[in-house]
């Protein structure tokens, strides 16, 4: 009979944490992941409906058992108010991306504008030789758009990383049961 907690398949997790917006809190949280050999794919932080509190959405890929340990360790942090490993299929996920595309002539410009419309993006900046597009949505949609405009020449990309909330009226369960 094996006593060792099983190693499991690597999978993607979206951790949502409500935290006190104190200096150093990001370092404290990121440190927990790196200490256990976890690479954070993305991390978003922003203020919330509650004063002095921020919500962090952390996307990581890894062994489920180790992740369970990380979530428990997160829960132990004094500045973490609530934390949850979101069910990937039961949450709204969004990411924002800014893409500066090489468009030296009218035809490339109009083509990119067309594509942007199809993806319900926005042109947010324009110059002689470039267009900057804002795309919001799920990460796969953003990936698809980036692939699409790659032929024009991408000058710069900035992505926020994923942010997410549970679907429905439910909110994050409190760290104390």
Q: Which residues are near another protein by CB under 8 A?
A: 1-5, 19-20, 23-24, 27-28, 31, 35, 68-69, 72-73, 75-81, 175-177
Least Å from the CB of residue 11 to another protein: 18
Burial of 131 from C-beta contacts in 10 A (0-12 / 13-18 / 19+): buried
Least Å from the CB of residue 45 to another protein: 16
Least Å from the CB of residue 70 to another protein: 9
Pair of tokens at residue 133: 């597009």
Least Å from the CB of residue 13 to another protein: 17
Toward another protein, which CB reaches closer, 72 or 120? Answer: 72
Toward another protein, which CB reaches closer, 29 or 131? Answer: 29
Toward another protein, which CB reaches closer, 59 or 77? Answer: 77
Are 20 and 79 in contact, with CB atoms under 8 Å apart?
yes
Burial of 94 from C-beta contacts in 10 A (0-12 / 13-18 / 19+): middle
Toward another protein, which CB reaches closer, 73 or 111? Answer: 73
Toward another protein, which CB reaches closer, 13 or 175? Answer: 175
Least Å from the CB of residue 63 to another protein: 13
Least Å from the CB of residue 175 to another protein: 7
Toward another protein, which CB reaches closer, 22 or 110? Answer: 22
How far apart CA 55 and CA 30 sit, in angstroms, is 14
Of 174, 173, 165, 172, the closest CA to residue 14 belongs to 165
Task: For residue 56, count other CB atoms closer than 10 A to its CB.
Answer: 21
- Per the document, the length of the chain is 177
How far apart CA 59 and CA 11 sit, in angstroms, is 11
How far apart CA 32 and CA 101 sit, in angstroms, is 37
């Amino acid at each position: 009979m094996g006593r060792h907690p099983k190693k499991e398949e690597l999978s993607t997790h979206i951790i949502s944490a409500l935290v006190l917006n104190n200096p150093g809190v990001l370092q404290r949280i990121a440190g927990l992941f790196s200490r256990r050999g976890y690479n954070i794919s993305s991390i978003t932080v922003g203020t919330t409906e509650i004063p002095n509190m921020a919500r962090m959405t952390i996307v990581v890929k890894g062994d489920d058992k180790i992740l369970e340990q990380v979530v428990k360790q997160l829960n132990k942090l004094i500045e973490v108010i609530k934390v949850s490993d979101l069910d990937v299929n039961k949450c709204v996920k969004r990411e924002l991306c800014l893409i500066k595309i090489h468009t030296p002539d009218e035809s490339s410009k109009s083509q990119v504008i067309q594509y942007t419309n199809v993806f319900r993006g926005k042109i947010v900046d324009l110059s002689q030789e470039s267009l900057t597009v804002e795309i919001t949505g799920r990460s796969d949609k953003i990936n698809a758009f980036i692939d699409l405009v790659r032929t024009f020449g991408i000058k710069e990309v900035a992505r926020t990383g994923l942010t997410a909330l549970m679907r429905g009226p439910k909110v994050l369960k409190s760290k104390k049961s």
